[in-house]
Each structure stands twice: as structure tokens, then as C-alpha cells.
Structure 1
Amino acid sequence: MDLFDAGPLRLLEAPPPRLSPRDRRAMDDAWDAAVRANPALFDGPVAGCTSLVHDERDGLVLTWVRATYRYFVLRRLPGATVRLPSLFVSVAQPSEDGRLLVGRMAPWTTSAGRWQLPGGSVEPPPDGEPLDLAALRRHAARELAEETGVDTPADDLTPWQVTRQTNGSVGVLFRAPSRPAAWLHARHATLTATEHALGRTPELDRLALARSPADLTALTGPHVSYLAPVLHRHARSDGPSSHGHH
């Protein structure tokens, strides 16, 4: 698990992964089985991350490819020659008392019961449009609103950390302006009531606030691998006052 400061970040598009006929058959069979087990799965467009390197001139250089969600099942297939890591965005949403908002994935999602920061997989832009830091920032703001009900202008999100997990998946983390804890919970309660009225459940079915990795022990269930290192970095930073409103 690697954690980098989000300095300059350049994104480069590479050609989509090429699969052997054997890998493609195995991927399609595994995806069909996954959809039978969880009909909520959707094979929509998604960006995969094929490399993240340090460039002395440009800071971090992230190479991405266009794919669909079924490509991610290759990581779980023994003998697959292509393993496509994901590219995701997350938002560190501080409360005014210096804790960070974490959410638990709902039972219908692919990671039921897992605690993480608000966020999600990055979708590739339409042909001809760039996938750059501004696009990632807009995507992060949309995920924050959809999952927590907290509406924050994309320009108010500050690049903060870049994480790389052991499976190669890369996350770009943004920090949001701090908000009152009670207001954050009220926004999620309003979102949940609206979703339930439409017969749906939000992706995050429960929210909590955590100041440091020690607070994760009070949460029932697993959490993403980046969460403890990010909370450790947050606890070492100089408190919420320096990361408040712009």
C-alpha cells in the first residue's frame, strides 16, 4: 500500500488491454456468474489504471485505459495474463472537529459492508475529451453528493493524496472544506429518506466519523486498505483549521 502527496499529476491514455481468446472466455464466464449472484452489477464503461510512475519533471504520471467493469474480474482468475487495476476517486470530508467522514457500503453493492471514504470508480470521458485533474475533481464532487448528500462545488475540492493498493488500483483523494458533523449526518439522512421513497438504498448505508486509525476498531466490518494510512496521515496533519473553507 503506497501513499503519495498529490503534487502535479499527469494522466496519459493508453490503448485498451488486449486479451487472448482464452482470457476473454474466462472473463465473460466469470462476469456472467457474478451477475447471476448479484443482478445489480452493470458492465458500464470504466477507466483502468495500468501504471503510476514518478517523473522528475511532471511529478506523478498515471497511465489509464478504457475498459468496462467485467475486466476487473480478471484479477480474481488464476492464470489470467491480464490483470487490470482500477482508477477511483475519493473525498476526505472533514467535520469541523477534525474527524473524517467514512461510509459503509450497502448490501446490494459489490463490496457489501466495507468501510471507505465517499468515492467511486472513474468513468472514461467521451471521445475527444481529456481525462485530467479537473475531470477527476468533477467526478469526486458527484460521488460525494450521490453517496452522502453533501453538495460541494468541484472547485472547492483540493487534491490531497494518491494511493496505490497492493493489487495496483490507484485512488486520487481530494479534500473537501470542513462542515459541522451534525450537518453531515443530516444531509445523509435526507438523501437516505429520498432514496427510500424511490424504492432505492444509497450506496453508503451508514456514516461514521473517524479521527485516526484507532477509531476504525469501533466499526463493524472490513475497511479498504487505504483507509488506515489515510487516517494516519490526516491525524498527523495540522488539524482541521488549515483545511477549512477556501
Structure 2
Amino acid sequence: MSDRPTPDPRPYGFEVVRLARLEARLVTYDWAWARDNAARIDDNWRRRRAAQPALFDGPVLVACGCAIDDDTCRLDLFKTPYSRFLAYRDGGSPDGHVANAFAAIVPWSADGAVLLGRMGPHTANAGQIYFPCGTPDLDDVRGESVDFSGSAARELLEETGLRVPDAATEEWVCLRGEGQLAFLRPVRFTEPAAALVERMELYALREDEPELSGIVTVRGADDLDGAMPGFVRAYLASAFEAETGAADVTP
């Protein structure tokens, strides 16, 4: 019998679900919470804009339905102004019918590290450390479908200059908790962490106002940081637990 501890089924309060397929579609939805809290939304937007004038109140996509059957997730999203979404998120996601859903590439280096970015001071999540990602928007809509894979790849390219390798498999990990549905796609790159960090830093130097103020390299659970949101720490704890377990297995 192994003496290794049993993995936490909900690390940092998040359920970790591994998926082989993610399907997302755009639907219409009457968001009662936003309609009933118009004054709160306006006040929150004024406060946010005063602190970060670069914020733009464009349309974003928010989840109103999520069904996971075996290893497939089917997700419903609707369009709403960013100011409504931001007030909802800032208020602790009080409406259980709606969730903040987004996708991100998790860059794994050839030598087993995970690379994350520290958000710049002009962004809505300044100082936080997480994977390159963003709230999906109308640019991700393809007919009635929402392209989460394309959204994640675009954010990775825009924030780091890295492109998803053509040979990368498409598997997902869903982190569910705290009013969030984080869909993470782990991608293994052929370069070691130092080479990837150098590429990302050189890319940032060419940007007038880069999204990221720095790159963070994580090689194990001991590198988790309080500036990382819960879903990031939950994924990393689960992923490094799995990596350790795989290394302990004798062929």
C-alpha cells in the first residue's frame, strides 16, 4: 500500500475535471441580476475607470449553462457589456445561474516547468499571476459556436508572442468554483523554460504597453504564490501531483 497522501478532490475550493472535448455556443439570455442592479453596475464602472482609464466597455461572453457528460463539456454563453460582467465578478458572482467562463493555454516547457504571466498595472487584474487568457468576446464567435480553442491561442499569442505548436493535442482541464469556469488547455513546448522566457520577454519589449509585467516560472507546488487566483493554484497543485505520481510509477 502506498504511503502517498490522497489527492485533494477540490484543491483550493475548485473541482478539477479533465475533458477530451469542449463545445461552446452563443445563446440569448435575459440576465435578471444585471437588470436589477443597474445602479450598482454604473457605480462600479465609474470606480474602475477612475483607477484604470484604459478599460473599455465592449461586449463580452458570459456563461449561463454548463453540462459535463463523461469527458465532454457543453457550454452556453451570452453577450453582455464588460461593465456588467466586471461588476458581477467584483461583487463575488452573486447569481448562481451565471459564471465567468474563459479559456487559456497552459505553457509547459520541455524541462517540466509551467510559465505564467504577472498582469500589468494598467489591466483589470493588475498584479495577479496566471496563464495568458481573456474573457471571450464576439471575435470568438463562429456562426452559433464559440471557439474557445482559438480564443486561448489568440490570447497566448497577443500576450507572449508564443504560438501553439501544430502537433499539440487538444485536451482540456475544467476548473469549476468561485463562480468561474476556467477551461485550461495544457500544451507542451519543445524548448526549455529559459528559452521560452527569453522569447516572451523579447516580445514584451516590442510592445508599447504589454499586458504582462513579468514572466513567472513554476516547477512544483512549492512555487505557488498568493498572487495566483484560486483556479491557477488548483490546477498547478493537481498537475504537479499527477506529474509526481507518474514519476513514482515503476515501468
Asked if Structure 1 and Structure 2 have the same fold, meaning a TM-score greater than 0.5 normalized by the shorter chain, the answer is yes
Whole-Å separation in 2 of the counterparts to 1:206 and 1:55: 38
Deviation of 1:85 after TM superposition, in Å, equals 2.6
Give the 3-state SS of the residue equivalent to 2:216 in structure 1. strand
Is it true that 1:108 corresponds to 2:116 in the alignment? no
Q: Find the counterpart in structure 1 of residue 164 from structure 2.
A: 152
Structure 2 Cα separation of the partners of residues 160 and 113 of structure 1 = 26
> 1:187 — aligned with what?
199
CA positional deviation for 1:9: 2.6
Residue 69 of structure 1: aligned partner = 82
1:201 equivalent to 2:209? Answer yes
Shift in Å, 1:80:
7.1
Change in 2 beyond 3 A, CA 1:26/1:191? same
Normalised by the size of structure 2, how large is the TM-score? 0.79
Q: What's the RMSD between the two structures over aligned residues?
A: 2.9
Q: Taking structure 1 as reference, are residues 27 and 182 closer, same or farther at Cα in structure 2, changes over 3 Å only?
A: same
- Superposed displacement of residue 71, structure 1: 1.4
Amino acid at match of 1:149: G
Moved more, 5-14 or 185-194: 5-14
Which residue is 2:224 aligned to?
Answer: 216
With normalisation by structure 1, the TM-score equals 0.81
**How much does 1:109 deviate?**
0.8
Deviations 1:16-63 (A, max 9, x none): 33347542233123212321221011111211012323335x832222
Deviation (angstroms), 1:185: 1.3
Query: What is residue 26 of structure 2 aligned with on the other side?
Result: 13
AA matched with 1:156: A
State the match for 1:237 in structure 2. Answer: 242
Question: When the two structures are aligned, how many residues end up with a matched partner?
Answer: 230
CA distance 1:77–1:155, change in 2 (3 Å): same
Measure, in 1, the Cα distance between the counterparts of 2:220 and 2:73. Answer: 27
Map of 2:46 onto structure 1: 32
- Counterpart-to-counterpart distance in 1, 2:122 and 2:182: 23
Contact 2:64-2:97 at 8 Å conserved across structures: no
Structure 1 window deviating more from structure 2 (157-166 vs 136-145): it is: 157-166
| 1:119 alignment partner in structure 2 | 133
Among 81, 88, 106, the alignment partner of 1:92 is 106
- Secondary structure class of the residue paired with 2:104: strand
Distance 2:46 2:166 in 1: 36
SS in 1 for 2:171: strand
Q: Deviations over 1:109-158 (max 9, x none)?
A: 111111111212111357761334xx211111111111112122577362
Structure 1 counterpart of 2:7: none
> Which residue does 1:244 correspond to in 2?
none
Q: Structure 1: 5+ residue runs without aligned partners?
A: 242-246
State how far apart, in whole Å, the 1-side matches of 2:222 and 2:231 are: 14
Mapped to 2, the partners of 1:143 and 1:77 lie a distance apart of 25
**Equivalent residues of 2:159, 2:212 under 8 A apart:** yes
| Cα distance in 2 between the residues matched to 1:105 and 1:170 | 20
How many Å separate the matches in 1 of 2:92 and 2:76? 25
What secondary structure sits across from 1:71 in the alignment?
Answer: helix
1:117–1:77 distance in 2 versus 1, CA, 3 Å: closer
